[in-house]
Structures are given as structure tokens and as C-alpha cells.
Amino acid sequence: MNTPISTLTIGALAKSAGVGVETVRYYQRRGLLAANGAHRGAFRVYGMDEVARLRFIRRAQALGFSLDEVSELLALDEETDRERARAFAQAKIADVESRIRQLEEMRGALQGLVSCCEHTEAPAPCPILHALANAAEPPARE
Amino acid sequence: MNTPISTLTIGALAKSAGVGVETVRYYQRRGLLAANGAHRGAFRVYGMDEVARLRFIRRAQALGFSLDEVSELLALDEETDRERARAFAQAKIADVESRIRQLEEMRGALQGLVSCCEHTEAPAPCPILHALANAAEPPARE
DNA sequence: GTTGACTCCGTACTTCGGTACAGGGTTTAG
DNA sequence: CTAAACCCTGTACCGAAGTACGGAGTCAAC
């Protein structure tokens, strides 16, 4: 009766968020999760607060935040940092949108090559390879 | 009169495609560019064919192809590999589109959080941080 | 004939987010 | 009591696409 309900070993914690044990340890090394806390015998045990924190990390990652950014998000206070959290999210939206635009440019260029290829008669050199080999401009540096 | 026009040193070759010398050497190590060829004295020199090849590499990269994929593209023949080149480009389009969709999902989720934040009255805990801390489901594994 | 810019070769380091051991110790179910 | 399953610490490695650096050689101009 002195095993308080819901204290987990590292393996159970990891499973609760769908990650591997090594990932949890990695987050501890990075300071995203506390490395020392309650122990039961020789093993570290984790409570529901740490389950929540780990899930927070994974959700923020799924939204496109890097682990460094997740650190910053974790340091924000729900009560007093609303402005900052919103600015953070808006900056990430801008970031995601610029990546989308870049990919859309690639898609457009690729589609142009493919449709050109489809409209060229058979006994001609491949327009795709030809375009790659002989485009107008050298791609800008960077 | 025996310095044939347009044979370049590695530095000039690199500049002609807007990359660094180390990058050219890296492509040589990867087998994208030939490591041995004409020399003038102790230094390797490069011709227009190699300028074209280097630019081909950069352009294919800009379209989203990895260097491994660029190797495969370089191995294709303009005359006989039209089908393969087109299939390659179409596969890359699918790939780019799936990345776009993933980013659009992120953007949608972020926008939802931000607009929720904008519609909440001031003296309340931050809905963004709150959502990260208390979402419905743990994100699926993988 | 010397200075400065360039080249050669080899190796090591970078970022990012983990993953994979190795070589122990501990716990717990049967 | 023993064996499986789990945990601990520490270190090394992965892929991708380069970047950095050391130490030496060489080339071109003045």
C-alpha cells in the first residue's frame, strides 16, 4: 500500500508518450526533463507531471518546434507569458509557410519538366535531363 | 597558345557554380564528379563539361533531389532513359507534395492555437501552452 | 626571388534528433 | 533460487551535406 498509484519507471514513462527509453534519456541530457528526482530503490521513478511534460515535448515537436524551441516553450508561464507564446506560434507559422512556399516552387518546376516531357515526341532527347544539363542561369549561391 | 581557353582550376570551377572549393572536393569524394582528369603542372584543371556537370548537380538539388538521387540522374542517358527520368521526377513530386501536406497540417494546428489565443479574454491562462500541456491524445508512435 | 594566393591531401568536426551498444546492477515472477 | 526483464552510466554511432583545418607544395606577379 505504499506504492503510490501512478509512479512509473522510465520504460513505462517512455511508453506513455510513445517514445523509446533512450529518447527519454536523451531529453534528460538536453535538460528538457529533469535527470534526478524520486527514486524507488535504485531506480528513478516518474509521476504524472513528468508524463505531461514529455507529452508536451512531443506535441510541440509535432507542430514543428525544434527541441531548443521546446525548451523555451517549457520555460514560459501559462499565466504571465501569453504574449510570448503567441508570438512564438506566429513566428513558427511564418517559418512553416516559407518552407511550404519553397516546396511549392520545387513542385512547380518539377511539374513543368514532367509536362514538357509528356508533350515531346518520342525520338527526342529527354527534356528533363536536358533541362538539368542546360538551364539558363547557374543557381544563385546559397 | 597552348593554354586552351576555358580550362579552370578548382577554385574557378567552384565559383562558376556558386559553391565552395570544399564542396567540389566533397562531390568528388562522393563520385559525383571525377576526381582525376587533366592536369596543368601539379594542379587539376577542369573543362566546360565539368562546369555543366556541377551545375546539373546544383539544379537537381534545388529541385529537391538528394545527392544519392542526383547520382542516379547523372547515370541516365538523355536519349534512352526518358521513361526513367520522368518517373523519377513524378516520384519526387509525390514526395514534395507529402511534405507540403505535412507542413500544412502543422500550419493549421498552429493557426488554431493562435486564433484561440486571440479570442480568449486577458486574465486567463495561455491557451497555447495549455493546449500543449493538456491535449486529448498522446501523439501516435513514430 | 619572394610574397601572396592558390592547390593538394587527409582527417576531423558540425547540426539534429535520436539510436545502439557495453558492461554492469536490480527487481520481480515463478 | 533463479532467470527474465528491466534499469543504470557512459560512450559511440547514424545520415545528410557539407565545413574547417593543418601542413605542405606550387604557381603567377612584381
Closest Cα in chain A, distance from residue B62 (Å)? 7
pLDDT for the residue B124: 77
pLDDT for the residue A20: 96
Q: What are phi and psi of A32, to 5 degrees?
A: -80, -30
pLDDT for the residue B101: 97
A124's grid cell: 527526342
pLDDT tens digits, residue range B89-103?
999 999 999 999 999
pLDDT for the residue B139: 45
Distance CA A117, CA A126 (A): 7
- Which has more pLDDT, B128 or A6? B128
Residues in chain A: 142
* Sequence-distant (≥ 6) Cβ neighbours of residue A142 within 8 angstroms: B18
Q: What is the DSSP letter of B119?
A: T
- Asked whether the predicted pLDDT for residue B3 surpasses 50, the reply is no
Collect all residues of chain A within an 8 Å Cβ-Cβ radius of residue B128: 82, 85-86, 88-89
Which bases of chain D come closer than 7 Å to a protein CB? 6-9, 16-21, 25-27
pLDDT for the residue A109: 94
Architecture of domain B1-65: Orthogonal Bundle (1.10)
Check A18 against B138: CB less than 8 A apart. yes
Check A126 against B79: CB less than 8 A apart. yes
- Asked whether the predicted pLDDT for residue A70 surpasses 80, the reply is yes
Q: How far is the CA of B37 from the C1' of C5 (A)?
A: 23
Instruction: Answer whether any strand D atom is within 7 A of the Cβ of B64.
Output: no
Closest Cα in chain B, distance from residue A44 (Å)? 22
Share of chain B above pLDDT 90, in %: 69
pLDDT tens digits, residue range A74-98?
999 988 898 899 999 999 999 999 9
pLDDT tens digits, residue range A26-49?
999 999 999 888 999 999 999 999
- Asked whether the predicted pLDDT for residue B142 surpasses 60, the reply is no
pLDDT for the residue B51: 95
Q: What are phi and psi of A128, to 5 degrees?
A: -70, -55
Which pLDDT band, with edges at 50, 70 and 90, does A135 fall under?
low
ipTM: 0.87
Check A118 against B86: CB less than 8 A apart. yes
Which pLDDT band, with edges at 50, 70 and 90, does B136 fall under?
low
Yes or no: say if B14 and A134 are a contact pair by the CB < 8 Å rule.
no
- Under 8 Å CB pairs connecting chains A and B tally to 159
Domain A1-63 has CATH 1.10.1660.10: yes
Average pLDDT over residues B48-65: 96
Q: How far is the CA of A97 from the C1' of D20 (A)?
A: 33
B91's grid cell: 516520384
Check A134 against B52: CB less than 8 A apart. yes
- Asked whether the predicted pLDDT for residue B5 surpasses 60, the reply is no
Check A18 against B139: CB less than 8 A apart. yes
Question: Which residue of A60, A88, A114 is in closest CB contact with B86?
Answer: A114
Yes or no: say if A40 and B86 are a contact pair by the CB < 8 Å rule.
no
Q: How far is the CA of A136 from the C1' of D11 (A)?
A: 50
Q: What are phi and psi of B2, to 5 degrees?
A: -110, 25
A136's grid cell: 539558363
Element (H, E) at B70: helix B67-75
Q: How far is the CA of B127 from the C1' of C26 (A)?
A: 43
- Asked whether the predicted pLDDT for residue B133 surpasses 50, the reply is yes
pLDDT tens digits, residue range B7-54?
999 999 999 999 999 999 999 999 999 998 999 999 999 999 999 999
Q: What is the DSSP letter of A140?
A: P
Collect all residues of chain A within an 8 Å Cβ-Cβ radius of residue B17: 138-139
Distance CA B123, CA A40 (A): 40
pLDDT for the residue B39: 94
Helix, strand counts (H, E) of chain B: 6, 2
B22's grid cell: 570544399
Q: Which of B3, B79, B9, B85 is nearest to B51 (CA)?
A: B9
Interhelix angle B21-29/B48-62, nearest 10 degrees: 90
**Nearest chain B residue (CA) to A108:** B93
Check A106 against B64: CB less than 8 A apart. yes
Average pLDDT over residues B54-67: 96
